């Protein structure tokens, strides 16, 4: 029965020349009936060879279509795709990701079986390149020390209702009920949408047997930019929903903020200088311990880069979050001017 439902897959992308073919190839070979799913690739006016690659696929496969996204950001891409979609199920896919052959059929099955409004699966993080640095980044993004208790990253054994999933699969009527993605949120728009869904009585199911394979950023500079944006726009999400739902959303900013505060106050008294070194020292111990534990199992060379990967994650997100507090809560920039679009970063 689930294999008779029409599915619309939406893939936001920009400058994905390196990965878009792998993503589309893995989608095309899915075991879901070919006449029952369409693929809408919504491109943010890519400047590399991405559009040409997508165009070739669209010529070869009648169920693949290229859509333009002049605003270049993910929430706009999703909204353009949703308005164009013909399916009763809307699956968001990421161009930086590959999917197993049963991905679509399992999504459709679990949406029907569970009655959930959004179903997603585990996110297996792969290195974005065959380098020591890229491997370290992938391990950091799969570690509880790196990403906290995000279950879709660190793993669960049984299906569970959660606050968010990666690349959600929604019943189309959800968008009629609660609206589209918030285009003010260049990052974290899926978090806000899922929390809005929950506040309106919806349910989000994480199913461990559903798996996707995500290629992480391959450099610390790219990782830094991405996590600064995550932290920055998380503040705006919290404003919109009126609550902090998980501690992992604020711990990096509390850590970075405590270092900044005690560092400044240390000029007044040695007491705060001592606090600064205690906080930073505890972090160094934890960072070293987690890095050593992974390097011991996966290769000692990783120990040379893993501590830097963790620092990039934590300080990037933390500083981004603090800047978001300054811009959104203190200066209230979002009330005075349109937030500048930040195109998809790679």
Percent of the chain past pLDDT 70, that is, above it, reads: 94
Strand partners, 204: 118
What's the pLDDT score for residue 337? 58
Could you tell me if residue 43 is inside a domain? Answer: yes
Give me the torsion for CA of 113, 118, 123, 129, rounded to 10°: 130
Could you tell me if residue 208 is inside a domain? Answer: no
Distance CA 334, CA 141 (A): 30
Could you tell me if residue 137 is inside a domain? Answer: no
Q: For residues 29-51, give the mean pLDDT.
A: 94
Distances in Å between the Cα of 127 and the Cα atoms of 96, 247, 291, 314 are: 11, 27, 17, 19
Structure-token pair, residue 146: 């790196």
Q: What global pTM score does this model have?
A: 0.86
Structure-token pair, residue 23: 């993503």
Contact in structure between 330 and 235 (CB atoms under 8 Å): no
Identify each DSSP E strand in the chain by its residue range. 7-13, 37-43, 64-68, 89-92, 97-98, 118-126, 160-161, 169-171, 204-215
Domain count, the chain: 1
Q: How confident is the model at residue 336 (pLDDT cuts 50, 70, 90)?
A: low
What's the pLDDT score for residue 327? 93
Distance CA 109, CA 295 (A): 39
Could you tell me if residue 164 is inside a domain? Answer: no
Of 245 and 81, the structure prediction assigns the larger pLDDT to 81
Could you tell me if residue 77 is inside a domain? Answer: yes
pLDDT at 319 over 60: yes
* Longest distance between any two alpha carbons in the chain, whole Å: 71
Distance CA 178, CA 44 (A): 25
pLDDT at 43 over 90: yes
90-146 pLDDT per residue, tens: 999 999 899 999 999 999 999 999 999 999 999 899 999 999 999 999 999 989 899
* Domain extent for 62: 1-99
Contact in structure between 128 and 137 (CB atoms under 8 Å): yes
Contact in structure between 169 and 107 (CB atoms under 8 Å): yes
Could you tell me if residue 81 is inside a domain? Answer: yes
Distance CA 11, CA 151 (A): 23
What's the pLDDT score for residue 297? 93
Could you tell me if residue 86 is inside a domain? Answer: yes
CATH number of residue 21's parent domain: 3.90.550.10
185-198 pLDDT per residue, tens: 888 898 899 989 99
Q: How far apart are the first and last CA of the chain?
A: 39
Give me the long-range contacts of 221-227 (CB less than 8 A, separation at least 24). Answer: 222/345, 222/346, 223/137, 223/309, 223/312, 223/313, 223/316, 224/312, 224/316, 225/316, 225/345, 226/187, 226/316, 226/345, 227/312, 227/313, 227/316, 227/317, 227/320
pLDDT at 1 over 90: no
Could you tell me if residue 306 is inside a domain? Answer: no
**Please, what is the average pLDDT of the chain?**
91
Backbone angles phi, psi at 304, to 5 degrees: -75, -25
């Amino acid at each position: 029965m689930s294999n008779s439902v029409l599915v619309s897959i939406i893939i936001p992308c920009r400058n994905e020349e390196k990965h878009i073919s792998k993503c589309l190839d893995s989608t095309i070979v899915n075991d879901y009936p070919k006449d029952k799913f369409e693929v809408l690739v919504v491109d943010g006016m890519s400047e590399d060879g991405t559009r040409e690659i997508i165009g070739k696929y669209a010529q070869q496969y009648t169920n693949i279509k290229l859509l333009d996204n002049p605003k270049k950001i993910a929430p706009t891409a999703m909204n353009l795709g949703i308005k164009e979609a013909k399916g009763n199920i809307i699956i968001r896919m990421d161009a930086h990701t590959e999917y197993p052959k049963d991905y679509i059929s399992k999504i459709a099955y679990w949406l029907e079986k569970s009655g959930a409004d959004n179903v997603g699966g585990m996110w297996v993080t792969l290195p974005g390149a065959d380098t020591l640095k890229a491997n370290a980044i992938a391990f950091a993004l799969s570690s509880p020390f790196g990403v906290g208790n995000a279950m879709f990253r660190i793993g669960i054994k049984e299906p569970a209702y959660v606050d968010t999933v990666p690349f959600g699969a929604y019943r189309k009527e959800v968008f009629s009920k609660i609206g589209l993605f918030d285009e003010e949120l260049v990052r974290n728009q899926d978090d806000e949408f899922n929390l809005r869904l929950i506040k309106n009585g919806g349910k989000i199911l994480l199913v461990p047997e559903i798996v996707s394979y995500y290629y992480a950023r391959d450099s610390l500079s790219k990782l830094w930019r991405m996590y600064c944006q995550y932290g920055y726009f998380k503040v705006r999400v919290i404003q919109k929903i009126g609550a902090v739902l998980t501690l992992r959303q604020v711990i990096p900013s509390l850590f970075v903020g405590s270092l900044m505060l005690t560092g400044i106050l240390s000029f007044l008294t040695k007491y705060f200088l001592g606090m600064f070194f205690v906080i930073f020292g505890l972090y160094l111990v934890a960072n070293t311990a987690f890095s050593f534990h992974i390097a011991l199992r996966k290769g000692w060379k990783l120990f040379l880069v893993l501590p830097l990967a963790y620092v990039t994650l934590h300080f990037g997100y933390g500083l981004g979050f603090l800047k978001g507090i300054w811009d959104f809560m203190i200066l209230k920039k979002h009330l005075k001017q349109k937030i500048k679009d930040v195109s998809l970063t790679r």
